[in-house]
Structure 1
Amino acid sequence: MTLDLRIFTEPQQGATYDDLLAVARATEELGFSGFFRSDHYLHMGGDGGAGPTDAWTTLAGLARETSSIRLGTLVTSATFRLPGPLAIQVAGVDQMSGGRVELGLGAGWFEAEHTAYGIPFPPLGERFDRLEEQLAVITGIWGTPRGETFSHEGPHYPVSDSPALAKPVQDGGVPIIVGGGGRRRTPALAVRYAAEFNAAFTSVPETGRLFERVRAVAREAGRDPGSLTYSAAQVVCVGKDDATLRRRAAAIGRDVDELRENGLAGSADEVVDKLATFADVGTERVYLQVLDLSDLDHLADIAEGVLRQLR
């Protein structure tokens, strides 16, 4: 079994930049391939600690303080930023990292964070319209040859004679990740714009069904289904013994049995066995959602017990 493992964090729950830096450095030193973070401005349970950090601001810092891991968002909300400035921002972080950045982009869903910080929150259909137009603008800016201009006609983000700068340093632009459970628009957007499709926090059978739907849409559109990477995101909780496992589950407010059912939990061997079932339905990459960012020993245990077996 070959699976690419990345670490995925939720800093809106109260992590500072220094917390994220410590986890990112551990991620790199322990041999995981990437460090990703959510893009949220409001905590979901708890008191939010020190408050939110901005995703692309922190990734810019991490770009200069790491050297090999991939960095990105899972996922940036299209409601948060205009596509032109976002294209410039992400391209800048890609330059700062030496070409290690990926952009997960979604329609946005958490209304409370919008009202808490004065961000407009359109109805769902309009949010998807805006997401589709953002993808067109961002990829258009990155894909326009140097010396030429880019224009886009659209109801939300018209662009006229843009110099289409700055450019990412990665050939073809920054890889884009699209995910979700939608049956029609989400697979179509992934096939048209993305390098990777992500199925987040779904069961093994549902993950397989989502992948098959994307593959079918790709074939219909004339795209090789194998040209996409298929990934999953799952919460992880590993313990070398029962006491450690239960302590780590309690630290994130979860029950061990529930985590075993709805995530990747238990001994390292249990987690490897569960990962094998994801691999069986076509998963090539897994984002391990680590919720207690103060427990760096947890990362070490995952690397020693799980990552080692997948190499």
Structure 2
Amino acid sequence: MRLRIFLEPQQGATYEDQLAVAKAAEDLGFDALFRSDHYLHMGDRAGGLPGPTDAWITLAGLARDTSRIRLGTLMTAATFRYPGPLAITVAQVDRMSGGRVEFGFGAGWFEEEHAVYGIPFPASGRERFDRYEEQLDIITGLWSTPVGDTFRYEGKHYRLAEGPALPKPLQGPRPPVLIGGTGPKRTPRLAAKYADEYNVPFSPLEDTEAAFERTRAAVRDSGRTAPMVYSAAQVLCVGRDEAEISRRAGRIGREVPELRENGLAGSPGELVDRIGRFGAAGAERMYLQVLDMADLDHLELVASQVVPQLD
């Protein structure tokens, strides 16, 4: 089981805040640091001050300010960017990092953040997914086109004239692609076709296991032979005793009983048991959602008292 740190910077974080977590996670031996791709805070947590940071600009900085830890998004929103420039951006950050980027990519869903920053948001979920599928086709197509060949695309929503399909990512044939969500039909099909990893975010264990099985079925039905990595994301709240667990829950505006039911919360032993249950359901990686970025001792506790107990 690989543990990865997952941040929500739109809730309030500077680049320096994120860099501090990234360096701590790297020093403590965590596998990867991922962040969300949002431009507006959610809930009442201080209004997201000092304001949003762009996911890929942040990852470009982290690519140069870290050396080992893998870097990625859960999930880059297809509604925020055109597919051609996005393929260039991700390829460039992959090279800046020495080949440590992973590309989590989703259709986009948070309508309000689009409205406040003037980003078009297709009202129909079907149209968003149609555009998303074309973007997956374009981005992976641009990366996989051999150097010296050209790429052209004719879709309903996007048309690319014949071009050089450059630059290429450092990782070949491309950075790992992550697709997530619990949609019953289209998401598993797209994951089977395009993804290297399928992620289920913030869902109960039973729902996570069912989503894994739907994607396994889609992989079988597609005739795919390449392996698929299965992963889950859960909020983190661990403490050495009940007082520490309660303090950490309070700092993120949550209640301990609710977190124990809906996340990875409790003592280190409870976390080991809970993570083991996700592992038994098929998860190979867990993304630990860290909502209090100033609490680096939280990461140290997981690294010292949870990780050694995992297989």
TM-score (norm 1): 0.98
Determine helix, strand or coil for the equivalent of 1:215.
Answer: helix
CA positional deviation for 1:13: 0.4
CA positional deviation for 1:310: 1.8
CA positional deviation for 1:156: 1.3
Deviations 1:81-140 (A, max 9, x none): 000000000000000000000110101110110001000110211100011000000000
Paired residue for 1:157?
158
Alignment of 1:246-265 (within 5 A): 246-265=246-265
Unmatched segments (≥5 aa) in structure 2: none
Unmatched segments (≥5 aa) in structure 1: none
Deviations 1:166-185 (A, max 9, x none): 10010111110001111111
CA positional deviation for 1:9: 0.3
Paired residue for 1:303?
303
Determine helix, strand or coil for the equivalent of 1:302.
Answer: helix
CA positional deviation for 1:270: 0.3
Paired residue for 1:129?
130
Once residues 70 and 43 of structure 1 are traced to their aligned partners in structure 2, the CA distance between those partners, rounded to angstroms, is 25
Paired residue for 1:119?
119
Deviations 1:157-208 (A, max 9, x none): 1111121001001011111000111111101110100000000111111111
Paired residue for 1:41?
39
Determine helix, strand or coil for the equivalent of 1:164.
Answer: coil
Paired residue for 2:9?
11
Alignment of 1:193-212 (within 5 A): 193-212=194-213
Paired residue for 2:26?
28
Determine helix, strand or coil for the equivalent of 2:48.
Answer: coil
Q: Is 1:64 aligned to residue 72 of structure 2?
A: no
Alignment of 1:202-281 (within 5 A): 202-224=203-225, 227-281=227-281
Determine helix, strand or coil for the equivalent of 2:51.
Answer: coil
Percent same amino acid at aligned positions? Answer: 62
Runs of 4+ in 1 over 2 A off after TM superposition: none
Once residues 157 and 16 of structure 2 are traced to their aligned partners in structure 1, the CA distance between those partners, rounded to angstroms, is 37
Paired residue for 2:291?
291
TM-score (norm 2): 0.98
Once residues 175 and 34 of structure 1 are traced to their aligned partners in structure 2, the CA distance between those partners, rounded to angstroms, is 13
Task: Tell me which amino acid in the other structure corresponds to 1:6.
Answer: R
Once residues 65 and 128 of structure 1 are traced to their aligned partners in structure 2, the CA distance between those partners, rounded to angstroms, is 35
CA positional deviation for 1:217: 0.8
Q: Is 1:177 aligned to residue 178 of structure 2?
A: yes
Once residues 242 and 43 of structure 1 are traced to their aligned partners in structure 2, the CA distance between those partners, rounded to angstroms, is 29
Aligned length: 308
Q: Is 1:144 aligned to residue 145 of structure 2?
A: yes
Deviations 1:12-42 (A, max 9, x none): 0010000000000001000100000000000
CA positional deviation for 1:49: 1.0
Task: Tell me which amino acid in the other structure corresponds to 2:195.
Answer: A
Deviations 1:233-269 (A, max 9, x none): 0001010011111000000000001000000000000
Alignment of 1:43-122 (within 5 A): 43-45=41-43, 46=45, 47-122=47-122
Determine helix, strand or coil for the equivalent of 2:3.
Answer: strand
Determine helix, strand or coil for the equivalent of 1:227.
Answer: coil
Task: Tell me which amino acid in the other structure corresponds to 1:95.
Answer: R
Determine helix, strand or coil for the equivalent of 1:36.
Answer: strand
Task: Tell me which amino acid in the other structure corresponds to 1:52.
Answer: P
Once residues 307 and 58 of structure 2 are traced to their aligned partners in structure 1, the CA distance between those partners, rounded to angstroms, is 26
Determine helix, strand or coil for the equivalent of 2:40.
Answer: coil
Determine helix, strand or coil for the equivalent of 1:271.
Answer: helix
Once residues 153 and 238 of structure 2 are traced to their aligned partners in structure 1, the CA distance between those partners, rounded to angstroms, is 48
CA RMSD across the alignment: 0.8
